[in-house]
Amino acid sequence: MTISPPRIGGLDVQGWGDPEDPVVLMIGPPERLSPGWRQWVRAMVEAGRHVLIAPVLEPGEEAAALRGLLIDISSRPAILCSAETLARVAPALVVTGPALASCLIVVGDTPGEAAAILDNLPLLTLDPAALHEPGETDEAAILGFLERQAPREALYYQSGSDPRTLRDALGCFATGVTVVTTLDETGQPVGLTANSFSSVSLDPPLILFCLARSSSNLERFQRAEHFAINVLHIGQQPMSGAFARSTAERFDGVAWETWETGAPILSGSLASFECATHQVVEAGDHLVFIGRVTRARFEPRRDPLLYFRGRYRRLHFA
């Protein structure tokens, strides 16, 4: 079992298993769910689930904090909690439209009110005394239920409804992965992972990427007159992870070179584009950087690193 990064949605969560796997979120002190909760976690991890345990939250703040957590988790999680906890947190699971969870596993009787709010969610009620097949363990019941769950119908986003659904809809567009780089005023290389890359125009040769206003490197990119876009190949997945984490040491151990502008060109990338900043367009919570390509290089024999539905993928030729 591995421990995953501890902060999601501004909360300290405990995590087990591979962060790329579908998430099961446990809410409430796990020891109150069952004395065997550790076995549940182990079984779920072994069955390919990423198990997160939300911290115990202040009454009154619970719903808002939980909603922040759910929006930040990279996939719509299964929720595992007691009936008592569910009664308090059910409003956080629904904004408008589809719930922020994929299904519910509730220990004890599901309170009527919560059940009404969560009418459309697949539900497993775990009541060891009454509901199990003879001989079926809790773990088997949980795993069987999780395996059977899949989205039952198309999901809809409407203006004003939850950002989670919009993110999931956008995640249906498969992209490559790039590391966008520049040099700051002191000559230090800066860079971050970005999949918002797009070609724009051939004549003149323009490309773009979108940078979050929240980026710690926003001003550096705004001040620099050049940037480079490095398209990653499948072997550069660790680099994508490193350039997406908040750490000052992203370039440690990374081979890079410069061409004409000084913007770091990551050696061995699938393709690199050196650009002069052509236009910066403000667009909501991002800035769109449009660059005029001054030089490009590509490697014709490698496969791209892909990103789809919040996970890294590779090309599959049938």
Ligand X SMILES: Cc1cc2nc3c(=O)[nH]c(=O)nc-3n(C[C@H](O)[C@H](O)[C@H](O)COP(=O)(O)O)c2cc1C
- Least distance to ligand X, CB of residue 303, Å: 16
Cβ at position 317, least distance to ligand X in Å: 23
Compute how many residues bind ligand X; rule: CB under 6 A.
Answer: 16
Measured from each CB, the residue nearest to ligand X is 196
Cross-strand pairs, 106: 81, 125
Q: Strand 306-308: give its sheet, edge to edge.
A: 175-176, 306-308, 311-313
Q: For residue 192, state whether it binds ligand X (rule: CB under 6 A).
A: yes
Is the sign of the CA dihedral 204, 210, 214, 216 positive or negative?
negative
**Position 159, amino acid:** S
Is residue 118 within 8 A of residue 105, CB to CB? The reply is: no
**Strand pairing class (286-298; 271-283):** antiparallel
Q: Using the rule CB under 6 A, give the single segment among 16-24, 152-160, 203-211, 222-230 that binds ligand X.
A: 203-211
- Residue 194 binds ligand X (CB under 6 A): yes
- Give the start-end residues of each E strand in 32-153: 50-53, 78-82, 103-107, 123-126
> Is residue 193 close enough to count as binding ligand X by CB under 6 A?
yes
Q: Is residue 206 close enough to count as binding ligand X by CB under 6 A?
A: no
> Restricting to residues 289-308, which ones interact with ligand X according to CB under 6 A?
307
Name which of 21 and 84 has its Cβ closer to ligand X: 21
Residue type, 194: A
Per CB under 6 A, the list member of 196, 237, 258, 294 interacting with ligand X is: 196
From the list 11, 47, 63, 244, which residue makes contact with ligand X (rule: CB under 6 A)? 244
Nearer to ligand X, 40 or 289 (CB): 289
Beta carbon of residue 289, minimum distance to ligand X (angstroms, whole number): 10
Instruction: Tell me how far, at minimum, the Cβ of 79 lies from ligand X, in Å.
Output: 25
CB 270 within 8 A of CB 206: no
β-sheet bridge partners, residue 16: 3, 51
Regarding 215 and contact with ligand X (CB under 6 A), the answer is yes
Closest CA to 73 of 124, 2, 24: 24
State how far the Cα of 235 lies from the Cα of 252, in Å rounded to an integer: 17
Rule CB under 6 A: is residue 232 a binding residue for ligand X? Answer: no
Residues 118-177 that bind ligand X (CB under 6 A): 177
List residues binding ligand X (CB under 6 A): 177, 192-196, 209-212, 215-217, 244, 246, 307
